[in-house]
Structure 1
Amino acid sequence: MTQHPEAPAPAPLLSAADVRRIAAELDLRPTKQWGQNFVIDPNTIRRIVQAAGVGPEEHVLEIGPGLGSLTLGLLDAASAVTAVEIDPVTAARLPRTVADYRPEAADALAVLHADAMTLSAHELDAVRPAAAGTGPTALVANLPYNVAVPVLLHALAVLPGLRHGLVMVQDEVADRLAAPPGSRVYGVPSAKAAWYADVRKAGVIGTQVFWPAPRIHSGLVAFTRREPPVSDVDRQDVFAAVDAAFSQRRKTLRAALASWAGTPALAEEALRAAGVDPRARGEQLDIAAFARIARHRPAAGEARP
């Protein structure tokens, strides 16, 4: 009988004891200000990395690496990781954690101490790991609950090289990001995310795999970049129409877009030109419809009583 060699054991990831030890060493107390809830379960890290579908040649952007639980898992799957961290204490400690647990991957990591809300491609290029031939192609992150949506939308806007990704956010935010038109939770985040990518919910994560444990579950959101639904309308113009439509959800689009267009009558003209019923409401429209509406927005000075 032929004996097959046993598969090598997976490389160690940070355990709950490891996370608490490093935090104690840094005299670190997780703060709500930076949304610090650290993953302490290695199996959850493996699940996230697998669900992200990161390839061995990819350069991954990780936002909010914290103490490095997910960073180690990503270094096992990808060729390089750039980690963006707002906390100077954890940003300074992360390279040492990688050197201790993945010494062979130390050169594949770059750490940028920065605010992801204002991140730029230029900043990332300045710290690019030697193992990364190009900028990041994937985003994988445990995003702070309080800024998850703006951070994700900003990254998609300023880093067109991001082709796909997986982010962990508050579960109800995950539902909103992945909601289709007509859903009860479809809204501004759903529509704006759809401008950049196909978005789907990829799972739910319980509370006990974090330290400190949050009060609510987390959701995994996967995205795959695609071209915007139209190419002849500026994204900011489309997003202005989205914001106006959802600022008064209970109103018809004719009423909700009145200020945006100049008058209710001009709003109706733009809607009819876009092939949209003026009596419809924002939650019924997909992002392509909003783009058509933006295309027909009256020019400045066209408003009339």
Structure 2
Amino acid sequence: MTSVESSPPPLLGATEIRRLAGELDVRPTKTLGQNFVIDGNTIRRIVATAKLDPTETVLEVGPGLGSLTLGLLDAAARVVAVEIDPKLAARLPQTVTEMRPAKAENLTVILSDALKITELPHEPTALVANLPYNVAVPVVLHLLEHFPSLRHGLVMVQDEVADRMVADPGNKTYGVPSVKGAWYGTMRKAGVIGMNVFWPAPKIRSGLVSFERGPRPVTTASRKEVFAVIDSAFAQRRKTLRAALAGWAGSPTLAEEALKVAGVDPQARGEKLGINEFIAIAEAKVAVEPEGK
């Protein structure tokens, strides 16, 4: 086998990315959180870490100029790319046709805000994306809620956000992203990405977060009800749960009663509780609510 035959398919480098951006008169904006990956080895690392099955349909959010899209098409059966920028969405199919002509029909581009999509033309089984820093957590939670077909994934986010998404109870970075993520399954840190592989280079490192969807929690409480407890508990995280959940329950007394029914110390703080405790608290509210409410 010749060296050409054994070489990996070409990916977009710094020169190609800047050429495409110039052609489209696109200047990466902080508003949309645009930082384009310009290093092929980083793309290969992300794709390898995602552990994709070749039969999978991958959902990519914010494909930009197509750096990661090409790598995903090499590893999966189909890519559904959701892009909010009209110029980028319009150019992506052409880029794929030029660089992966045999894979062009395997790409579907959706011009939309990822926070607003609730259905797609193809059912995705994996989420792999370089997410805009400012909406990373809301996007992940929204997609996990609306697309139960998503079994696993790998997202690149701001490194500090990655730490919050994977933190365990009691950790100083543990908070709303950690608990809500645990509702859907298991999240873990899968690596750190430096700043120089992006254009423009961000001022902070990026983190890779891998997730596996778990079984749906067995509970009489809805996801909305459980998330309301979580939001209340962390809105004033320095307060005890008795005080922090007073508004949610209707009064400090009702909050304390609900916590006791759930088997949770009213003097504890939200940062010490796992997802199962929050579920128990949500279930307990029904037991202590005044009749007729």
Shorter-chain TM-score range: over 0.9
Partner of 2:204: 216
Contact 1:62 1:141 in 2 (8 A): yes
Bigger shift: residues 5-14 or 89-98: 5-14
Match in the other structure for 1:296? 284
Q: 1:100-125 CA distances to partner (integer Å, 9 max, x unpaired)? A: 1000000000000000011112xx12
Quick one: percent identity of the two aligned structures?
A: 63
Moved segments of 4+, more than 3 Å:
4-7, 298-301
Task: Report the TM-score when normalising by structure 2.
Answer: 0.96
How far the C-alpha of 1:227 sits from its partner, in A, is 1.6
Question: Partner of 1:205 in structure 2?
Answer: 193
Runs of 5+ in structure 2 lacking a partner?
Answer: none
State the match for 2:77 in structure 1: 79
**CA separation in 2, counterparts of 1:228 and 1:280?**
26
| Residues 183-231 of structure 1 deviation map (CA, whole Å, 9 limit, x = unaligned) | 0000001100110010001000000000000000000000000123333
Structure 1 stretches of 5 or more lacking a match? 129-134
Q: Choose which of 287, 294, 299 in structure 1 pairs with 2:275.
A: 287
SS for the counterpart of 1:208 is coil
Quote the residue 1:56 is aligned against: 54
In structure 1, the partner of 2:24 is 26
Q: 1:90-146, CA deviations, whole angstroms, 9 ceiling, x for partnerless residues?
A: 00000000001000000000000000011112xx12xx4xxxxxx100000000001
Q: Is the 8 A contact 2:176 2:231 kept in 1?
A: yes
SS of the equivalent of 2:189 reads strand
- 1:267 — aligned with what? 255
2:125 corresponds to 1:137: yes
Q: Deviations over 1:29-72 (max 9, x none)?
A: 01111110000000000000000011100000000000000000
Q: Which residue of 2 aligns with 1:160?
A: 148
RMSD (Å) for aligned C-alpha atoms: 1.4
How far does the alpha carbon of each residue in 1:163-192 deviate from its partner, in whole angstroms, 9 at most, with x for none?
Answer: 000000000000000001110000001100
The one-letter code matched in structure 2 to 1:139 is L
Q: Equivalent of 2:178, from 170, 177, 190?
A: 190
Which secondary structure does the structure 1 equivalent of 2:173 belong to?
coil
> Quick check: 1:257 aligned with 2:245?
yes
Residue type matched to 1:280 in 2? Answer: A
Alpha-carbon shift at residue 294 of structure 1 (Å): 0.1
Q: Is the 8 A contact 2:257 2:288 kept in 1?
A: no
- For 1:178 and 1:223, the matched residues in 2 are separated by 9
Q: Do 2:152 and 2:211's aligned partners in 1 also have CA atoms closer than 8 Å? A: yes
Secondary structure of the structure 2 residue equivalent to 1:110: strand
SS in structure 2 of the partner of residue 169 of structure 1: strand
Letter in 2 for 1:100: E
Segment of structure 1 superposing worse, 88-97 or 221-230: 221-230
| Structure 2 residue 2 is the aligned partner of structure 1 residue 10 | no
Is the 1:230–1:291 Cα contact (8 Å) retained in structure 2?
Answer: no
CA contact (8 A) 1:229 1:287 kept: no
TM-score by length of 1: 0.93
Alpha-carbon contact 1:40-1:69 (below 8 Å) kept: yes
2-side partners of 1:300 and 1:232: how far apart? Answer: 15
